[in-house]
Amino acid sequence: MDKKKQAIGVFDSGVGGLSVLKQIVNLLPNEDIYFYGDRANAPYGSKSQKEIIALTIQAVETLMSKSVKAIVIACNTATSEAIDVVREKYPEMLFIGIEPAIKPAVLDQNKAILLLATPMTLQSKRVNKLINQYNQHTHILLKPMPLLACLIEHHDLKDDEIQTYLKEELHEYQDQVDAVVLGCTHYPFVQTGIVKELGNVKVYDGALGVAKHLKHILQQHQLLNDDTKGGRIVFESSESNLDIFYKLWNMKIGEME
């Protein structure tokens, strides 16, 4: 098979990766996509690094068995804890990871930025290196949200439980920051609820950056699919029920609450 025509693999612990997938499909409408959500093992954010590495290897191998030409790790937790390991283990595969969008938030001259992410992302060496690169003139506050990905994964997005949790965790930051960085791919699904608790803030997430980077890498390797018929998306999960993927896929990000 012509390598250009092979699908792109996209992976997350669950539905969060769909927020990245939306940007990929907008930017690269002719690519076939194979999306794998490891719902049976979600959330990753409070697991040990060893567990996250093992699960990421498993997910990557699932995608590689579908002969994908590149793999997007659409999960901040898996990227920050495991991308170096899978890059070393599979040097022939193109991996594109996601990182919290701290750089654009700092370059926009925001003075105080709140970074929301899973506990493991905030603890990781990779993300701490990124923070240290950008916190010279900008106040970057770190806020782990240990339960949020799981609430999004298992509740209707309109459930009071989600807003109650956001209120409990974020209320003290109301009107204290100019910007919020959504450092977990699940969080854009409750963006309106987050902004409601924080007041007037600019919102940054890494999804568009990842889609642009993916396009650049495929271009560089002459792997862009030149068909114009429109790509197909196949969803797969470690859990048999795929309903939640179809449900969230058919909503627009802004319409999710």
Under the rule (CB under 6 A), what is the footprint of ligand DGL? 12-13, 16, 42-45, 75-77, 118, 121, 149, 184-186
Check if 75 is active-site: yes
Q: Which of 77, 138 has the CB closer to ligand DGL? A: 77
Nearest CA to 153 among 186, 190, 120? 186
Q: Which of 21, 223 has the CB closer to ligand DGL? A: 21
Out of 10, 75, 78, 98, the active site residue is: 75
Out of 130, 184, 207, 214, the active site residue is: 184
Instruction: Give the distance from CA 66 to its chain's centroid.
Output: 21
Cα–Cα dist 219/229, whole Å: 19
Q: How distant, in Å, are the alpha carbons of 74, 79, 100, 103, 142 from that of 113? A: 22, 22, 12, 11, 9
Q: How distant, in Å, are the alpha carbons of 1, 43, 104, 248 from that of 22? A: 26, 21, 20, 11
Question: What residue is closest to ligand DGL based on CB?
Answer: 45
Q: Which of 174, 257 has the CB closer to ligand DGL? A: 257
Cα–Cα dist 9/67, whole Å: 9
Beta strands per DSSP E along the chain: 8-12, 33-37, 70-73, 94-96, 112-117, 139-144, 179-182, 202-205, 233-237
Name residue 71's beta-bridge partners. 9, 95
Other Cβ atoms less than 10 A from the Cβ of 64: the count is: 15
> Least distance (Å) from ligand DGL to the CB of residue 1?
31
Q: Which of 157, 223 has the CB closer to ligand DGL? A: 157
> Least distance (Å) from ligand DGL to the CB of residue 186?
5
Q: Which of 6, 235 has the CB closer to ligand DGL? A: 235
> Least distance (Å) from ligand DGL to the CB of residue 182?
9
> Least distance (Å) from ligand DGL to the CB of residue 80?
8
Check if 150 is active-site: no
> Least distance (Å) from ligand DGL to the CB of residue 229?
31
Backbone angles phi, psi at 10, to 5 degrees: -130, 135
Q: Catalytic amino acids?
A: 75, 184
